[in-house]
Copies of this chain bind each other. A is one copy, B any other.
């Protein structure tokens, strides 16, 4: 038989109200009864039921996390750090893998509400914007990662992809590269990274060449290889390729190697995301690190502030990526650097 607050109260010779106060550190209790009750709780191995307390209107100390695909390492890391921070703050997280499917999103959200979660975190690639709007209207605690919806008043944490793209390009330029190919995936993050790439070129007085920008239909290594070959075929030889994620960059490396180019001697390559892949590959990949842990911790903080009513204003947190220089980048040879 599960033991309840009544058992504790009876055994300690006090009322349930007293026990409840002690559990929640409320009201004023004499040190003597407090000790007594604590002892009894210990002895009985009493665990208050969060269900009952939730029914009384208190928090469930549970949040929902909607993620498109856990098998994507980036998302898995988000999940990890969100859980980590949640745990620190006393919140459990219910994982929901949506496959970026609007219907699943719908179902999950409605389920989470039935379970009375205190708030919801949504990771990138969320499709069902209507749903988000509804939650906002209801003032349901909500925070999102990595997809800033400029038109919606939501707490969000984003990494500055624009800056990331800029940094990559700036670095390559500083190494003397002038023709820099780019291979991207067709999503919002990539767009920003491309903008940063363009801006860096412009800031150095170089007109971006559209032919050097390749958008993959799908972010696979095969596509990357394919487009890298096209880039490498162009008349005016490029000396560097920026892959908008590590996998794409690795595809480019492989394409280069297959036609006998040495990396980084004949071609510099930079990736994005600093996944495990970047250290597996040889030579190890220069790439951009997203502050995954910070991102995860930050969203949770934003969300719990809403839950606790600590915060009334909406925050858009933008975190900065960081260039991780490894072995696939090198000063350009046979060129005078101005």
Contacts and interface: CB of A to CB of B under 8 A. Distances in A.
Contacts of A114: 47-50
Interface string A51-81: 1101100001010010001110100110110
B71 A77 contact: yes
Given A48-B114, A51-B54, A114-B47, A80 B71 contact: yes
Q: How large is the interface on A (under 10, 10 to 19, 20 to 34, 35 or more residues)?
A: 35 or more
A276 B87 CA distance: 29
Nearest to A80: B70
A89 interface: no
A140 to B, nearest CB: 12
Interface of A: 47-52, 54-55, 60, 62, 65, 69-71, 73, 76-77, 79-80, 83-84, 87, 92-97, 110-116, 221, 247, 250, 254, 257, 276-277, 279-282
Q: Which of A79, A80, A112 has the most CB of B within 10 A?
A: A80
A115 B280 contact: no
Given A47-B113, A51-B116, A70 B60 contact: no
A279 to B, nearest CB: 8
Nearest to A112: B92
A217 to B, nearest CB: 19
Contacts of A282: 254, 257
B71 A76 contact: yes
B70 A115 contact: no
Number of copies: 2
Contacts of A87: 96-97
12 contacts: A60-B115, A62-B94, A62-B115, A70-B76, A70-B77, A71-B77, A73-B76, A76-B79, A79-B95, A80-B97, A92-B111, A280-B280
Contacts of A279: 221
Contacts of A112: 92
Nearest to A292: B71
Nearest to A69: B80
Contacts of A70: 76-77, 79-80, 83
A95 B62 CA distance: 11
